[in-house]
């Protein structure tokens, strides 16, 4: 790729998170050579018959009694396993559902208290077990299977929305030990908080600024087809113009939509197909890297005036490098791969 070699560093500002990103191709070999070198995760099903429970895995079928309480399950056909998806409480929750919710003023509503403050750690921390089989990854499921996982997320978000103290739900998946996964069995998590996290507020403020300046939503149209990886009837998968991480992908609804939890079955099927394709492409191109994905949605109860610029999307971040002092100290990121190059590689990759 001669064009890559001739490029010089460039700084770009992201129009959603408001971050500056420095693109420095001199800090990397060719983008096609960029692979994960993280220690191998325990191979799903290694050393056991396909589908057999691992000795220490409570997420496998038949080990349900070893888990925290079940919230709901998605049943399987009668001739298959007892369930396809289980949503359970986290056995080691970051926030506790049995704690006393903070008063509205303590959670940041109304006039904020200046200086440091502390409140009781109330909230909901759930786990979504995406398959009963230990040897199956999320992108090994078919489109309908991934779509059902997405619908389980949405169902649980709607349940948490009914709690008057919950202001935001973060849906996320950690894949690989270095990405924060403590269990090899395919699963994702949800945290319902009694406050709107600061990064969410920053995102909405940045999108509001763009909307007021340009009269359009930051995510309703992207700047260049050169960053497009794949498009379906309902979604676009892109490498964002100012990607903070190499081979980062955003999956964005093509029609303006503020809330992920309003997704319907047909749209979930479309998104499931696209998500499994993007995860398969990253796995093939980057040597099954550790990754995180996060669903960025609007907080509950935002005013109707905010809806024209709030647009939900799913962000996939392969973990290919460590965050250093510059990133921590400045809030800026250094990415060795230009988004256009990453998008071209992923576009051409057959999966």
Domains along the chain? Answer: 12-26+57-99+120-348 (3.30.428.10)
* d(C-alpha 146, C-alpha 156), whole Å: 16
Q: What is the mean pLDDT of residues 5-10?
A: 74
Q: What is the mean pLDDT of residues 89-110?
A: 82
The crossing angle, in degrees rounded to 10, of helices 265-286 and 339-348 is 100
Q: Look at residue 28 in the predicted model and tell me its pLDDT.
A: 60
pLDDT tens-digit readout, 44-63:
444 445 556 667 899 999 99
- Whether 57 has a binding-site annotation, put simply, is yes
Do residues 172 and 293 make contact, with C-beta atoms less than 8 angstroms apart? yes
* d(C-alpha 205, C-alpha 200), whole Å: 9
Q: Look at residue 105 in the predicted model and tell me its pLDDT.
A: 67
Rg of the Cα atoms in the chain: 21
Instruction: Phi first, then psi: give them for residue 94, nearest 5 degrees.
Output: -75, -35
Q: Look at residue 232 in the predicted model and tell me its pLDDT.
A: 96
Residue 176, both tokens: 């690989």
pLDDT tens-digit readout, 329-340:
998 999 999 999
* d(C-alpha 198, C-alpha 25), whole Å: 31
Residue for token digits 């250093």? Answer: 324
Q: Look at residue 109 in the predicted model and tell me its pLDDT.
A: 59
Q: Look at residue 80 in the predicted model and tell me its pLDDT.
A: 74
146, 176, 130: which is closest to 317 by C-alpha? 176
- Whether 185 has a binding-site annotation, put simply, is yes
Residue for token digits 């809330």? Answer: 259
Least confident segment among 3-12, 67-76, 108-117: 108-117
| pLDDT reading at 172 higher than 70 | yes
Q: For residue 11, what pLDDT band results from cuts at 50, 70 and 90?
A: very high
Residues 6+ apart with CB under 8 A from 83: 61, 73, 74, 75, 76, 132
Which has more confidence, 80 or 162? Answer: 162
Do residues 210 and 118 make contact, with C-beta atoms less than 8 angstroms apart? no
- Whether 332 has a binding-site annotation, put simply, is no
* d(C-alpha 13, C-alpha 15), whole Å: 6
Catalytic residues: 187
Q: Look at residue 94 in the predicted model and tell me its pLDDT.
A: 93
Residue for token digits 């576009």? Answer: 347
| pLDDT reading at 240 higher than 50 | yes
Q: Which of 35-39, 92-96, 189-193, 318-322 has the highest mean pLDDT?
A: 189-193
* d(C-alpha 138, C-alpha 283), whole Å: 12
Least confident segment among 29-43, 61-75, 117-131, 132-146: 29-43
Q: What is the mean pLDDT of residues 105-122?
A: 68
241, 227, 260: which is closest to 156 by C-alpha? 260
HSE of 126, CA atoms in CB hemisphere, 13 A:
26
Q: For residue 267, what pLDDT band results from cuts at 50, 70 and 90?
A: very high
Q: Look at residue 346 in the predicted model and tell me its pLDDT.
A: 96
| pLDDT reading at 43 higher than 50 | no
């Amino acid at each position: 790729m001669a064009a890559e070699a001739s490029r010089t560093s460039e700084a770009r500002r992201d129009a959603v998170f408001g971050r500056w990103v420095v693109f420095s191709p001199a800090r990397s070999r060719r983008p096609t050579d960029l692979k994960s070198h993280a220690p191998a995760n325990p191979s799903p099903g290694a050393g056991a018959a396909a589908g057999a429970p691992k000795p220490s895995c409570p997420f496998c079928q038949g080990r349900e009694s070893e888990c925290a309480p079940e919230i709901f399950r998605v049943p399987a056909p009668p001739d298959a396993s007892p369930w396809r998806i289980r949503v359970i409480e986290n056995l080691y929750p970051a926030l506790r559902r049995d704690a006393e919710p903070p008063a509205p003023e303590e959670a940041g509503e109304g006039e904020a208290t200046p200086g440091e403050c502390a409140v009781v750690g109330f909230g909901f921390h759930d786990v979504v077990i995406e398959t009963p089989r230990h040897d199956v990854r999320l992108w090994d499921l078919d489109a309908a299977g991934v779509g059902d996982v997405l619908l389980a997320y949405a169902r649980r978000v709607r349940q948490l929305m009914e709690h008057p103290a919950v202001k935001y739900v973060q849906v996320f998946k950690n894949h690989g030990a270095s990405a924060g996964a403590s269990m090899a069995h395919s699963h994702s998590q949800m945290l319902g908080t009694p406050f709107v996290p600061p990064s969410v507020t920053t995102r909405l403020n940045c999108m509001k600024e763009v909307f007021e300046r340009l009269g359009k939503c930051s995510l309703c149209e992207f700047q260049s087809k050169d960053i497009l990886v794949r498009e379906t009837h309902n979604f676009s998968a892109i490498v964002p113009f100012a990607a903070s991480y190499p081979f980062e992908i955003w999956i964005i609804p093509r029609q303006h939509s503020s809330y992920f939890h309003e997704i319907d079955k047909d749209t979930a099927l479309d998104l499931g197909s696209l998500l499994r394709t993007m995860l398969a492409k990253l796995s093939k191109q980057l040597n099954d890297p550790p990754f995180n994905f996060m669903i960025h949605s609007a907080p509950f109860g935002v005013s109707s005036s905010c809806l024209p610029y709030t647009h939900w999307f799913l962000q996939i971040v392969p973990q290919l490098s460590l965050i250093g002092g510059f990133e921590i100290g400045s809030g800026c990121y250094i990415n060795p791969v230009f988004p256009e190059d990453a998008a071209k590689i992923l576009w051409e990759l057959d999966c």
